[in-house]
Amino acid sequence: MSRHENNPLPRGSLIGILGGGQLGQMLTMAATRLGYRTHVYAECSDSPGQRTATFKTSAGYNDKAALMQFAHMSDIVTFEFENVPAGTVKSIDDICPVRPKVKALEIIQDRFTEKSFIRDQEIEVTPFMAVSSGAELESAIKTLGLPLVLKTRRFGYDGKGQAMIRDMSDLKAAISDLNTHAAIAEKFIPFEREVSIIGARDIHGNIRTYPLAENDHARHMLAKTIAPAGGNAGLARNIMEKLLDALDYVGVMAVEFFELADESLLVNEIAPRVHNSGHWTQNAGCVDQFELHIRAITGLPLGNITPRFEVEMINLIGRDVLKTSEFASADNVFIHDYGKKEIKPGRKMGHVNRIVRGL
């Protein structure tokens, strides 16, 4: 495929996917429906994504020979998680187009850079400061007040790499953690609820967005999503469109918000990929987020993403996956088991979608 080709990627072309988790698995399944082959590159063998791909490579993200072979085989490359090294993506992009562009990864892999970028677009975010020492943390406490949330700048997800500082008694442990991690301090916001929006931008700059979704968390991990969820969807769409255009983004992206009492929205974070809070779209009677991503990066029309049903998504965490027979006995419930062999506490094993009502 020519780097400057704007026609749809021909059927039978090979889409390379960096990352082999459940998101990669569901991307391969969507690509297959649209007539494409897939090649999943992951560090671990027998990952969920590799089991459903046409080809698979198990190698490190610094393995130049394996990466070059992967790039030369692929007609286009995408990624299913945001912690793929930016250097890896750049090396592939020299050979094969990568969508979304590495710019999105470079910005979003660092929470301070991400929040600064959002603020530069004149979008409201939680007040924040960079912290790399005990003195800087004390300065952040004076400026932002307590409580505040301390987060590592890189590699945090599902509550990992975060600590709440409610009063000065929490300070010692937080400073100890900063001996090994650059961090960002964020003012704690007493929000009404957490909501998110999933959107996509294609190679021509066309944008589509799903309705707002409401998210409930347990132990810092998404437990349940229900959508459509009402709220200030117009503002959320405007923010999504502004961010997609500013990043010259191609593909699906998620934006998570804190919704305040007056329905105003503060951006919490951006995810440059398909997202857990968008799984409800799989059974909403429209093009789901995984197919939408494949359509966007290949140049296919984005299609109709207006949901026909209100859907509740429930994550199956750890041993919850053993309850699938109970879910299967209920009406209007759809099971998505990722096929992970080892059940671990806190591990996402699957999800179920329940149709609540027609729209």
Strand ranges, E, within 88-212? 128-131, 148-152, 162-165, 183-187, 193-201, 207-209
CA–CA dist 39, 47 (Å, integer): 12
All structural domains of the chain: 14-98 (3.40.50.20), 127-187 (3.30.1490.20), 193-358 (3.30.470.20)
Residue 3 has a pLDDT of 43
10 Å CB burial of residue 191 (0-12, 13-18, 19+) is middle
CA–CA dist 254, 277 (Å, integer): 8
Residue 345 has a pLDDT of 94
Residue 157 has a pLDDT of 60
Residue 172 has a pLDDT of 74
Adjacency order of strands within the sheet including 55-58: 55-58, 37-42, 14-18, 76-79
Low-confidence ranges of the chain (pLDDT < 50): 1-4
Which residue reads 């959508």 in tokens? 227
| Angle between helix 86-93 and 64-73 (nearest 10) | 50
Residue 4 has a pLDDT of 44
Residue 158 has a pLDDT of 56
pTM for the whole thing? 0.94
